[in-house]
A = this chain, B = another copy of it.
Amino acid sequence: MNVILASTSSLFGGNYLEYLTDELITLFNGIDEIIFIPFARPGGISHEAYTEKARDFFSSINISVKGLHEFADPTEAVNQAKGYFTGGGNTFLLVKTLHELGLMGVLSENIKQGKAYLGCSAGSNIGGINMKTTNDMPIVYPSSFDCMGLVPFNLNPHYLDPNPELKHNGETRETRINEFLTQNTIKVVGLREGNWIRVVGDKITTEGSEMSRIFEPGKSPYELQPGASLL
């Protein structure tokens, strides 16, 4: 496989995808066109507007972008594509739409056969086993929480450390993931902003500027340095 699952599309104050430019040139090496999957629709913007945002960035590295919503037969479009990018937004909306269109398995198969895939945030969640560790609000009801399983664990993008100064009783991110582990036996990778998971062949590593926080059933959470293996 040849996959990047990034915590976020943009660093604070940075431009869209800019911090990943070098990585994306490598990921999509030899590919002049990719399909963008705009279904997560951040803030409810149109598929067209979201695709345009992706197109703007990828034109800077000489890759053209087609939105998956533009195709009459999206299954055929996925099967014909050379590479994919799924943008962030709401994971429930993304997963619901992919299941409704019957695309979750089709996309997964193509990527497992070696086609390049970039996911950001919600687009990274769907690379995990299921979406049960998303931070997003359940604004729609998907027919299933199952995802592509490109990696043998779940992700928590935008992972945020507890703020000891916050006088608020909402659960911290760590508490939420520990609750997940009371009901599931799946490993979770807390991906801080600035980090991504890289899959090359059968190697899976955590990359980027931050440590990644790993949660496993029956263990205390622990940290992995950039470059560390996730298998």
Q: Could you list which residues of chain A lie within 8 angstroms of chain B, going by C-beta atoms?
A: 8-13, 41-44, 89-90, 92-93, 131-141, 144-145, 158, 160, 167-171, 175-184, 193
Chain B contacts for A168, CB-based, 8 A: 12, 158, 160, 193
22 contacts between A and B (CB under 8 A): A9-B169, A11-B169, A12-B168, A43-B175, A44-B182, A93-B179, A132-B137, A132-B138, A133-B137, A133-B139, A134-B138, A135-B170, A136-B176, A137-B177, A137-B180, A138-B138, A138-B145, A139-B179, A141-B144, A158-B168, A160-B168, A169-B193
Min C-beta distance of A205 to chain B, whole Å: 23
Q: Is the CB of A179 within 8 A of B133?
A: no
Provide the bound-state CA to CA distance between A11 and B178, in Å: 23
Once the chains bind, are A169 and B137 in contact (CB under 8 Å)?
no
Q: Are B169 and A10 in contact (CB under 8 A)?
A: yes
What residue of chain B has the Cβ atom nearest to residue A93's Cβ? Answer: B183
Q: Is A184 touching B10 in the complex (CB atoms < 8 A)?
A: no
Smallest beta-carbon distance A104→chain B, Å: 15
Residues on the B chain within 8 Å of A136, using CB: 171, 176
Find the B residue at minimum CB distance from A192.
B168
Give Cα A207–Cα B8 distance, bound, in whole angstroms: 38
Point out the residues of chain B lying under 8 angstroms from A167, CB to CB: 12-13
How many whole Å from A93's CB to the nearest CB in chain B? 7
